[in-house]
Amino acid sequence: MRGRLAALVLVAGTLAPRSSHACAVCFSGADGARVAFLLTTALLTVLPLALLGGFAWWLRRRMRELDSDAREDVPVETPQSR
């Protein structure tokens, strides 16, 4: 628990300080572009994972359905067919 709290504080600490903006190579342009970079980074990172994860979840659910259907309909054990 304490370890988790410490990790949380550490992460929050790395995210919080605005003073790090003093760095020389960081662009000073419009604030909107900076926010947009952050937002689209999150979007691009999460979107493919969400799509693929959603598909995998749907597939798993569908498999379960078909499995239980198959057990009700066809009690005999059958070799898998393609």
Partner 1 sequence: MAQRDLRLVHDAASEPGPILPSSVLGTLIFVLTEIMLFAGLISAFMIVRGGTVEWPPPGQPRLPVEATALNTAALLASGLLIWMAGRAYRGDRAQAGGPFAAGLALGAFFVVFQGFEWARLLAQGLTLTSSTHGSFFYLIVGTHALHAIVALGILVWAFQLHSRRELRPSTFTAARTFWYFVVGVWPVLYLRVYL
Partner 2 sequence: MAETVHPAEQAAHGEHHEEGWVKKYLFSTDHKIIAMQYLFTGMAMGLIGAFFAYVFRMQLAFPGMEVPFFGVVSANEYNSLITNHGAIMIFWVAMPVLIAAFGNFLIPLMIGADDMVFPRINRLSYQIFFISALVLLASFFVEGGGFGGAWTAYPPLSANAAYSLTPMGATLWLVAVALEFVAFLLGGINFVTTLMNSRTKGMGIYDIPMVLWMIIIASILFMASVGPLIAGAVMLFMDQQVGTHFYDPTRGGDPLLWQHLFWFFGHPEVYVVLLPAMGIVADIMPVFARKKLFAYRTILWTAIGTGVLSFTVWAHHQFIAGIDPRMAHVFTITTLLISIPIAEMCFVYIATLYGGSIRLNTPMLWALAFVAEFLIGGVTGIFLGASGADIYFHDTYFVLAHFHYTFFPIAIIGTYAGVTFWFPKMFGRMMNDTLGKIHFWGTIIPFNLIFIPLFVLGAAGQHRRIYDFTNYPMLAEPWMQDLRVLATVSLVVMLAFQLVFFYNVIVSLVRGEKAGKNPWKSNTLEWTTESPPPHGNFGDQYPTVYRPPYEYSHPDREEDYWPQNLPN
Q: Which residues bind partner 2 (CB under 8 A)?
A: 14-15, 20-21, 23, 25-27, 33-34, 37-38, 40-41, 44-45, 48-49, 51-52, 79-82
CB of 69 to partner 1, least distance (A): 7
Q: Rounded to an integer, what distance in angstroms lies between the CA atom of residue 60 and that of residue 55?
A: 9
What are the b/e assignments for 7-32, b being 16+ CB within 10 Å? eeeeeeeeeeeeeeeeeeeeeeeeee
- The answer to whether 62 and 56 are in contact (CB under 8 A) is no
- Minimum distance of partner 2 from residue 7's CB (angstroms): 11
**Does residue 49 touch partner 1 according to CB under 8 A?**
no
Is 26 an interacting residue with respect to partner 1 (CB under 8 A)?
no
57 lines the binding site for partner 1 (CB under 8 A): no
